[in-house]
Structure formats: C-alpha cells, structure tokens
Structure 1
C-alpha cells in the first residue's frame, strides 16, 4: 500500500485534485535552489511539511545529512523546524535506507515515536507518546506486514488495549478511526467517521485479524483485496528520500 496517502487521509486523496489543478501551470523549483552544501559530503536539504523539496524561503524543515558517492543518504540525519530550531527527527541511513534507531518528535519538542529500522523497514516494538508526554501505544512490526497493537492508552492515561486486546482509536484531521483489537490485530467492524457530523466514511470488517471486506460509504464502492486503513503513523520524513520538487517559491 502507498503510505503517502496515510491512515485517515488515505480515502480523501481525491479531494486534493482541484487544488493541484490550480497550481499545475506553475513551474517546479530547481533542485539547486533547495539545498546547501556545508561540507565535503554534508548537505542541508529544505522541505515543506510534507517533505517536498522547496527553496529556503518557503521551507519549514531543514535536514542535515551526508551523501555517499551515489548521492544516497548515509550516516546520521537530523531534521529541524526552521522557525524555532526544534529537533523533529534523528536517525541514521546506510546506503540510502533507514537503519537502526529513529526518534521522531512533536512540534513542542516532546518525543513522539521511537523504534528501529532494518534495511529501511520498521522492525520490532515501536513506542509512541502524546504531545503531553503520556504514553500512547506500542506497535510490533513484523516483516513488512501490518503492525500488531500491543498496548494503547487514551489521552487521559486510561489503557484501552492491554496485551493485544481491547479497543483502539485515533482522532486526526477531523476524522476518527476506531475498532476492536484481538491478539494485536483489528477484529470485527472498524469505522472511519467525520468528527464534525459523526458521518461514517468507511466501514471495514475483520475476522480473527484478517481483512474481510470494506465499503466507502459516500460512493458505495466495495473492496475485498486489502484494508485501506493504516494503523501506523505516516512516516512523513521518509518522503525526503524521494527528492520530490515543489512548485516555485512564491
């Protein structure tokens, strides 16, 4: 699954069409305008919040990283918010792929996520926290498959999933995704709703942890190939590896 259209936003990517059409006539920025060489093999890249390369005047994030002879990320990487110099991401790359411990931070500087990569894939247990510093969840990643939900707490500190069993939810960008968890996997009916009016957008059915079927309510589209809902957070920082250029900086 393409995780660029992540989690709750996955089913709303079509809504970006008109906005994209309005800016289609603008030329793209030049790559040379979106980075600065600060050492023999050290580079600072400038990105938007979506990790699209953009000139510094329009950027919100800067990335300090080294490049190998093939132009791939190599060694330690640090991402900072340009407005206040807050650390957003720190980790390391090997031959262009994330390797070892990564830490992601909330805009207020609190730790948001900590886990390990192996050859570019999440592995083992990943821990997550709310911006307040309270624990949020622990997910277990398994060889490219959907992660298992081991533990989950709400914002008040109440544990809703314990040892892989309970109920899980996420409120994000005006949407709520929720469902039951059995032995770490989604079970029964999972629902994506709009928070503004409690309208159901998507329903999916799982049986003993396996996806069964789903329906997009607005269009009555049904599907049985795979789930279209993501439990894991969108790793926006990974988009920096793609070298996507923004439109010119206005």
Structure 2
C-alpha cells in the first residue's frame, strides 16, 4: 500500500511538473509570433513536454480585453466556449465535442442582439433562428433566408454563407 501511494505521489508530481501557465502571442492570422508583433495573446496551462493546452484557456485581444474563454483536454477543445467582440460583448457561445462544434450555438451582433441559433451535428449544420441587425426575425422554426460569416480556424479564413432554409435544412443554391 505504501509503495502504491509513493508511486501515485510521484506520478502526480511528474504530471504537474510538466505543466505550467504560459502566455503565448499570436498575430492577426493566429500564427505564433513575438509580443511586439502580436494581435492576440493566450493564457493557459500548457504541457511543456507535448505543448498541448489543458484546462481553462483564455485568449485576449492585445488590448487586454477577453477574446475567448474555453477548456482544453490535451489540446482538444471541450465543453462550452465563449467568444467576445473587442468591445467586450458576447459574440458566440457554444459547445465543443472533441474539437468539433456540437449542439446549439448562439451568435450575437456586437449590439448584444441575437444573430442566429445554429445546430451543429457531426459537421452537419441547420439554422433554427436568424435575426437581422435590427432584431427582425428572418428565419423562424428553421424556415427563411439566412446570411452569416464565421472564422474557420482550420483554414484561417472567414467563411461567408447565404441561402434559404426549409424545415431547418438548406434549400436551393
């Protein structure tokens, strides 16, 4: 029993020793850079052996305002993430399942009005609701015209989407 407790204590020490809270700097394309050239910075616990984030991670605009708040497990996004505009207002809120958007995501305009509610399911996207900047509903119960853009972190590009939905499914071109 004593040997088992000693082993567990050593294992805990090794795991905690290989992790430290780090500040990492990124340019406008989210590529690693120096503090002097940075547009964003990240604060989080990183495994210094594998260079993977673990636990709560916060991204900030270089001004110091919060840009993103979320959790990682060995570099994989998990649980609910929050993204913010430079003015501090909530931009997007949703859940990641093994690094993939999953479930209902809510997007907001920078004036705090709801923009849309989107369901993600294994790379399948459907729109439940969509509102214009003035708060007028354009999609109700999955039916209507939709227009949006989002940042694709894999291609590091903004994706623009416009089209029609019928019964929450894309319809037409």
Please indicate the TM-score interval, normalised by the length of the shorter structure. Answer: 0.7 to 0.9
Contact 2:45 2:54 in 1 (8 A): yes
Deviations along 1:100-128, one digit per CA (max 9) or x if unpaired, are: 01000011110000011111111110011
Provide the residue aligned with 2:171 in structure 1: 187
Provide the residue aligned with 1:54 in structure 2: 33
Provide the residue aligned with 2:154 in structure 1: none
Deviations along 1:153-180, one digit per CA (max 9) or x if unpaired, are: 00000000011101112379xx974221
In the alignment, structure 2 segments of 5+ residues that lack a partner are 1-17, 151-158
Provide the residue aligned with 1:125 in structure 2: 104
1:157 aligns with 2:135: yes
Provide the residue aligned with 2:54 in structure 1: 74
Instruction: Name segments (4+ residues, structure 1) moved above 6 Å.
Output: none
Deviations along 1:206-230, one digit per CA (max 9) or x if unpaired, are: xxxxxxxxxxxxxxxxxxxxxxxxx
Provide the residue aligned with 2:68 in structure 1: 89
Deviations along 1:60-95, one digit per CA (max 9) or x if unpaired, are: 101001113422111110011112x11000000001
Secondary structure at the counterpart of residue 186 of structure 1: strand
Provide the residue aligned with 1:199 in structure 2: none
Provide the residue aligned with 1:137 in structure 2: 116
Contact 2:19 2:46 in 1 (8 A): no
Deviations along 1:118-155, one digit per CA (max 9) or x if unpaired, are: 1111111001100000000000011232x101100000
Secondary structure at the counterpart of residue 99 of structure 1: strand
Q: CA RMSD in A?
A: 2.0
Q: CA–CA distance in 1 between the matches of 2:121 and 2:138?
A: 22
Higher RCO by CA contacts (8 Å cutoff, separation 6 or greater): 1
Provide the residue aligned with 1:13 in structure 2: none
Judging by fraction of residues, say which structure has more strand: 2
**Superposed counterparts of 1:29-40, under 5 Å:** none
Q: CA–CA distance in 2 between the matches of 1:57 and 1:185?
A: 46
Give TM-score, length-normalised by structure 2. Answer: 0.79
Give TM-score, length-normalised by structure 1. Answer: 0.55
